Amino acid sequence: MLDLSQYSSIGAALREAMQAFAGEVCLIEADRERENHRLTYREFAERAAALAKALQDGGFGAGERASIIMTNQSKWLISAYAIFNCGGVLVPLDYKLTAEQQWGLLRHSGAAMLITEYAIWRQLAAAAEGRAACGDLRLVLVTETPAKAELAGALRWEEYRADGTPAFVGRERGDLASIVYSSGTGGQPKGCMMTHENYLEQCVALTSLYPFWPGVRYLSILPTNHAIDFMVGFFGPFVCGAAVVHLRTLRPEFVREAFAKYKITYVSLVPLVLKNLQKGLLARFAELSGGKRRVFDLLVEVNKWLTKRRPRPGLSRRLLPQVHSAFGGELLTIIVGGAFTEPQTLQFFYDLGIPVANGYGLTEAGTAITVNDLKPFRADTVGKPLPGMEVRIVNADSAGIGEVHVRSKTVMAGYLNEPELTANTIVDGWLRTGDLGHFDAQGHLHLAGRKKNMIVTEEGKNIYPEDIEGAFESLPVKELCVFAADYIWPRGSMVGEQLVLVVHLEAGQNFTDELRQQMVERNNRLLNYKRVHGLVLVAEDFPRNASQKVLREKLREQLATLERASAVQPL
Amino acid sequence: MTRTLEQTTQEVLELAANHFKVAPGTLAPGDDFFRKLGINSLQALELLSRLENHFSIELPDYEMQGVSDFQTLAERIQSRL
């Protein structure tokens, strides 16, 4: 691994990596059974240089913002390196957002350039209003455009190249490296301004626990615009000479094949996918005949005993070859992110000899704050603070639970164009996470809930209850409100979070089957992960301020006096 | 066999209803399949695989980005038949 203390920017470190590991494979892109690309660091650098030179010839300069909206593929990383080489600021956006949302963020970020794929551009170009409002955008490059397709003013990525060596534009550690969006209430974009220092420091901390080296292969499944994949699926492996494998399909059957075909070492997943893998394995175990099953269960018990203090991958592979061969035989760790995972699922994989690196992080904190260090494995916590992270619990109650605050060189510079929000979020250098937790005697952090009225789903999606209320508007009731159930009645856990609909009927109104049916219908119109799971009927008026706005905090306090089990009925 | 877009759309609706076990005829071309069927992204991929087998075509995941209604899905399939 490069000594990152020697470099002042992502671009400078990557540039050094291109030379230091020139002959190693850095990137494999596959689509189903076909391999599209297999690039060495030298080849990767050559491709990026042709793009960087063309960008520089076109006037793209230091500090300018360039957005990437792409699925995980080789051109994502080549484009990002070219942007950093030019001293640009990267704005990675979620390809799953709607065209209107993407245009909104492009405008908010002040992007001068966009690099995207044809299928995404087709949707963006059709949303003419959003584009018209995006005055700063002067260049759009589109990959994989069919031969005769109309490009609506954009240029083909594959043809946008120039001969010659691009000038390397250096940046300082405190300069802006990227703007990463995290979701906020009411669709309000929160652009986290990340500096080069944030990334360099986070990379040192993470690789101290989960190292990469030439020969390691990371399977990139989480979207690269996500802070986790950007770090462990691009910057981290690249500065260590490792390789990243991109799949153009996420169909489970091809993902399964990829583990064995590419001898994957690390992979990052959201809890939903991890649980799906668990389900698949359990189904396979259930097919074993009585005798074989007993032998298998015994071997799992032996593995559990042998790996009690630390993982022993070689031993686990020999004991349980049928499980490990399904994962390619070289998998060291599954990194799980985006949301929290049930301890039983984590333990299930660990017992089979596959550690899951669960942790806790926020984009605002530069991704990870705590990570399970596997010394020994603990399924019941989110691990210990990473090196360089100061974590404190503020305003702790009698059980030691309080708000988690973080201070570190990895904490963002602030929210773009939001000085007030920034000032409320980072106070005296400490990032207020809005999450509740406590430390145990071994220094492991346990999370106990949120200070904010929100939930995070198993797919890693942040849901704000206020944004759901519109779906129930104009129901024939006096008033209604949506809450995160755990925000009212904390359970001391952050998995399986659910929303509840709080309803106050008109005086004398009965709760009829017809009304319930209307609620169910409205609920079913929501995307499945946004649906409410419970109903609370209250008899009193909601507390409101002078301008008739519901005082949510006060309402929450009133609801908290009720018994959860009897107050919430399923919807 | 040559199919019209209407036939393709009808087959998509029937396959989706069958795969997710909803009553035939309850799905309409303009329906958002995530909302109507209450499915997540993994389940949507399952449906794509099922459709690929049925129509003997390949539907790249990345070309399906942003497609959430049966009608557009059928159009993308039709263009590959």
- Chain B residues touching A98 at Cβ < 8 A: 66
Mean pLDDT of A500-506: 94
Q: What is the pLDDT of residues A126-137, one digit of tens each?
A: 998 888 888 899
Is it the case that residue A186 has pLDDT exceeding 70? no
Kindly state whether B30 is in contact with chain A, defined as any CB-CB distance less than 8 angstroms.
Answer: no
Distance, in Å, from the CA atom of A290 to the CA atom of A282, rounded to the nearest integer, reads 15
Q: Does domain A381-450 sit in CATH 3.30.565.10?
A: no
Homologous superfamily of B5-78 in CATH?
ACP-like (1.10.1200.10)
Task: Report the share of chain A in percent with pLDDT over 70.
Answer: 99
Query: What confidence tens digit (pLDDT) does each residue in A431-489 have?
Result: 999 999 999 999 999 998 888 888 888 877 888 888 888 889 889 999 999 999 999 99
Question: Mean per-residue pLDDT for B48-56?
Answer: 94
Q: Which of A365, A373, A424 has the alpha carbon at shortest distance from A390? A: A365
pLDDT (0 to 100) of residue A187: 60
**pLDDT-based confidence at A308, cuts 50/70/90?**
very high
Cβ neighbours of B48 in A, within 8 Å: 251
pLDDT, one tens digit per residue, over A519-538 is 999 998 888 888 999 999 99
Q: Domain segments of chain A: what residues?
A: 4-25+39-205, 270-357, 381-450, 455-570
More confident position, A460 or A8 = A8
Q: Are A177 and A10 in contact (CB under 8 A)?
A: yes
- Say whether residue B60 is in contact with chain A using an 8 A CB cutoff: yes
- More confident: A188 or A148: A148
Q: What are the helix (H) ranges across A86-232?
A: 99-109, 118-126, 128-132, 196-209, 227-230
* B60 with A31: Cβ contact below 8 A: yes
Taking 80 as the threshold, does the pLDDT of residue B1 lie above it? no
- B60 to A249: CB separation less than 8 angstroms, yes or no: yes
Contacts of A248 in chain B (CB under 8 A): 60-62
Please report the pLDDT score of residue A185 as a whole number.
60
Residue pair A417/A108 in contact (Cβ under 8 Å)? The answer is yes
What percent of chain A has a predicted confidence (pLDDT) above 90? 78
More confident residue, A188 or A233: A233
Domain boundaries, chain B: 5-78
Q: Could B35 and A251 be called an inter-chain contact, meaning their C-beta atoms sit closer than 8 Å?
A: no
Residue of B38, B63, B64 with shortest CB distance to A528: B38
Joined tokens for residue A288: 């074993």
**Helical segments of A231-341, H only:** 236-238, 252-261, 271-286, 290-306, 313-319, 321-326
**What pLDDT is recorded for position A412?**
97
Architecture of domain A455-570: 2-Layer Sandwich (3.30)
A360, amino acid identity: Y
B22 residue type, one letter: V
CA A371, A375, A377: angle at the middle one, nearest 5? 70
- B48 in contact with A, Cβ within 8 Å: yes
Sequence-ordered list of residues with C-beta below 8 angstroms from that of A110, at least 6 positions apart, any chain: A65, A136
- Beta carbons within 8 Å of A121's beta carbon, 6+ residues apart: A140, A142, A145, A151, A152, A154
A320-364 pLDDT, tens digit per residue, is 999 999 999 999 999 998 788 889 999 999 999 999 999 999 999
Provide the pLDDT for residue A477. 93
* Shortest distance, CA B3 to any CA of chain A (angstroms): 24
For residue A474, what pLDDT is reported? 85
Q: Does domain A4-25+39-205 have CATH number 3.40.50.980?
A: yes
Q: What is the pLDDT of residue A252?
A: 83
**pLDDT tens-digit profile of A51-95?**
999 999 999 999 999 999 999 999 999 999 999 999 999 999 999
